[in-house]
Structure 1
């Protein structure tokens, strides 16, 4: 069975703090040739090791607290904080508490 991705004009409700939050999950909400939008839930202490993607990325913390390591420094994102990373920028994540985030990725940069 394939995962449903939102259609153009379809309303999505993003619950910022699903309960219970006991494991990592990553669900692609929207996927086109150019764009992917992913909802991630990360329990406290969950790490995403350093990696990079070719396209530009935004990460918005919807709930909780996430540490983003990129460009030689670590920044803490709390609820409603948003950060942009250029394509190819190495980055890592650490959930400082149970967290939910919205990740957008430009899939085919020019």
Structure 2
């Protein structure tokens, strides 16, 4: 589902995305942050990786197992997880899941 990125002040209906979005899509990308709607069918795995900046994962539906440097945490509906920059993590959807991921982007230098 191709969506235009949201603009400043625009309202995005996450409930409609939960129904209509069949695959992961970018909601917005600004100079300082990026927001993604992650669609993870049951059994889907996202291999371990690290993002250089801080991020949050907010579970909107389903249950996801988050692997963190050998530890495992469950993330369920209504829960949010903060990950510091550089933290290695992977995802495994235990059931059909929808997550809202927000990534802080590196500050751009203006000098």
Pairwise same-fold verdict (TM > 0.5): yes
Aligned to 1:104: 102
Ranges in structure 1 where 5+ consecutive residues have no aligned partner: none
Deviation of 1:14 after TM superposition, in Å, equals: 0.4
Which residue is equivalent to 2:19?
18
Paired position in structure 2 for 1:68: 66
**Is contact 2:31-2:107 (8 Å) kept?**
no
Count of residues paired in the alignment:
106
8 A contact 1:53–1:89 mirrored in 2:
yes
C-alpha deviations, 1:37-95, integer Å up to 9, x for none? 00011000000000011110100000000011114311111101100000010000000
Report if the CA contact (8 A) 1:51-1:91 is conserved.
Answer: yes
**What RMSD over aligned residues (CA atoms) do the two structures have, in Å?**
2.1
TM-score (norm 1): 0.87
Match of 1:54 in 2: 52
After TM superposition, the score normalised by the length of structure 2 is 0.86
Unaligned runs of 5+ in 2: none
